[in-house]
Structure 1
Amino acid sequence: MPDISARAPRLFVDFPLAEGATVPLDKAQANYIGNVLRLGAGADVLVFNGREGEWHAKVIAGRRRPEELSVVARLRPQPAPGDLHYLFAPLKHARLDYMVQKAVEMGASAIRPVITRHTQVSRVNIERMRANAIEAAEQCGILTLPEIGEEQPLAAAVAALGPDRLLVFCDEAAPVADPLAALSAARRGPLAVLIGPEGGFSEEERTFLKRRDNVLVLSLGPRILRADTAAVAALALVQATLGDWVPGA
């Protein structure tokens, strides 16, 4: 089979995938395939559903525009899911969109908004977050979609992690030290990364987090980072030392 991965568009479809299956396109996907990309019958498309790997499919002609895909063959098996939870204080729309997309690209398996004392946005649009997660997965060749959680108070979100999950608490007030060395000394296992709001954590929240048994307080360097920048920096550090960037991890 020719290599189509570099030129074919990728679509997330929430349907079972198997050789010979017919998969319907929703209106947005049909418009994208037919009107934006101008693909006709027989054109190649890559599809995934987050459960059964990546598949080669072909466009089936509709009355006015493509309405269905015919699944041809599986190209990649579904990888084992990661185990990296990303907790963050919600941001306003554009920066929240960016943060969700980057968390998906960096391998987060669960994305959970948490409400802190200085959080500026108290409610988030879960469907918008999911749409951004799907878009990032489509564009970056990712096959597993993260779980998107409802917003929770900080204490409840931390309690839900369970005692065995290492919480990497990124705190701008922590003494500046070598974050790579600190992470490299930690034991491997289930991970969670916590990024706070623009106003930082309150002293009560810092005290609460530091009292947790399985916590690593981490500085991200000598400069104060915006929350969306801190997300990328922290997730990159964690993946490079304890996560799936490490050979054999």
Structure 2
Amino acid sequence: MTAPVKARLFVAADLAASLAVDLPADQAHYLRNVLRLAAGDAVALFNGRDGEFRAAIAQADKKACRLQVGEQLRPFRASSDLWLCFAPIRQGRIEMIVEKATELGAGRLQPVLTRRSQVTRVNTERLAAHAREAAEQCERLDLPAMAEAISLEKLLADWPAGRRLLFCQERSDAPALLAAVQALPQDVPLGILTGPEGGFAPEEMAAIARLPQALPVSLGPLILRAETAAIAALAIVQAVRQN
């Protein structure tokens, strides 16, 4: 009988049957001391390009943790190309955005600094670690790209010509996000932009409106918290695009 998989890890190494993978110290500690796994236990590995593979722990001691790669469990399949552009918010809540966006299949996470942003320094390395943990848990086969924070001005100046920007606008008569996404061709690349606590400044809203690719949309009559808006918008878009 095949041993049950007891953990799932993202690794940077190439994956193929018969290869050996040496884990870094943090992952070795997690398997050995947190999960209490030992030689012979099975884990699943993925690296964002080769698919998912079963592996067995060949060595697990204080010096090293080596895995022997076995058969492929799933071929690689990329998550969606959907971008989430969001204003940074305080610690604890920004991690929620990253975690849930990863679970919902976002392809790129882009922090955007605005006039009313209360957080101006973003630890993208820490957020990338949260994204990795979320990907391990939700069984996606890749990680979202975690971009460095940029200003709203730079985001708009560099926005790709062929990608629509769904601008979540509070207190407006903009069309509902669901209807707006349903009206767009399925193959048009999309990005979502959500604002900070307190919303965008008037001059920022005007600048967004001048972007030809921008499409104002509404998430309903209620004023949502920043993390709620980001998660709700992703869920709506993915519900349309993944059907």
Q: Which category describes the TM-score, using the shorter chain as reference length? A: over 0.9
Matching residue of 2:204: 205
How far apart are the structure 1 equivalents of 2:80 and 2:175? 28
Query: How far has the Cα of 1:217 moved from its partner?
Result: 0.6
Distance 2:191 2:137 in 1: 25
The Cα RMSD (Å) is: 1.7
Question: C-alpha offsets along residues 138-157 of structure 1, whole Å, 9 cap, x if unaligned?
Answer: 00001111111111110211
- C-alpha contact (below 8 Å) 1:176/1:220 kept by paired residues: no
Q: Between Structure 1 and Structure 2, how many residues are aligned?
A: 242
> Partner of 1:19 in structure 2?
17
Tell me the percent identity.
45
The reply on whether 1:222 has 2:224 as its aligned counterpart is: no
Aligned 8 A contact 1:168 1:217 in 2: yes
Distance 1:165 1:154 in 2: 16
Select between 173-182 and 70-79 the one with higher mean Cα deviation. 173-182
The alpha carbon displacement at 1:182 in A equals 2.5
Aligned-pair distance for 1:64? 3.6
Deviation digits for residues 41-65 of structure 1 (CA, Å, limit 9, x no counterpart): 1100000111111010001223447
Classify the secondary structure of the residue corresponding to 1:8: strand
Partner deviation per Cα, 1:161-216 (whole Å, 9 max, x = no partner): 31110100001132265432222112331110001000100111111111111221
Cα distance in 2 for partners of 1:98, 1:81 equals 19
Q: Structure 2 vs 1, CA of residues 176 and 167 (structure 1 numbering), >3 Å: closer, same or farther?
A: closer
Deviation at 1:3, TM superposition (A): 8.3
- Does the CA contact (< 8 Å) of 2:156 and 2:211 recur in 1? no
One-letter identity of the residue aligned with 2:123: N
Separation in 2, partners of 1:142, 1:108: 11
Q: Does structure 1 residue 166 correspond to structure 2 residue 164?
A: yes
**Once the 2 structures are TM-superposed, how far is the Cα of residue 66 of structure 1 from its aligned partner?**
5.8
CA distance in structure 2 between the partners assigned to 1:184 and 1:56 by the alignment: 39
**Partner of residue 72, structure 1:** 70
Q: Cα offset for 1:81? A: 4.4
CA distance in 2 between counterparts of 1:144 and 1:173 reads: 36
Alpha carbons of structure 1 residues 200 and 72: separation in structure 2 relative to 1, 3 Å: same
Output the amino acid matched with 2:157. A
Q: Structure 1 CA distance, aligned partners of 2:233 and 2:61?
A: 49
The answer to whether the 8 A contact 1:176-1:222 is kept is no
TM-score by length of structure 1 reads 0.92
Q: What CA distance in whole angstroms lies between the structure 2 residues aligned with 1:177 and 1:87?
A: 20
Indicate the residue corresponding to 2:131 in structure 1: 133
Matching residue within 29, 32, 44 for 1:31: 29
Matched, 1:53 2:51: yes
**Are 2:41 and 1:8 aligned?**
no
Matches within 5 A, 1:178-189: 178-188=176-186, 189=188
User: What SS is found at the alignment partner of 1:198?
Assistant: coil
**Match for residue 144 of structure 1?**
142
**1:219 shift after superposition:** 1.0
8 Å CA contact retained: 2:3, 2:42: no
Residues of 1 paired with 2:79 and 2:62: CA distance?
Answer: 39
In 2, the alpha carbon distance for the partners of 1:221 and 1:113 equals 23
Any unmatched runs of 5+ in structure 2? none
The answer to whether the 8 A contact 1:177-1:221 is kept is no
Counterpart of 2:86? 88
Shift of 1:30: 1.3
Residue of structure 2 in register with 1:153 after alignment:
151
Cα distance in structure 2, aligned partners of 1:183 and 1:141: 26
Consecutive unaligned residues in structure 1, runs of 5 or more: none
Q: SS at the partner of 1:74? A: strand
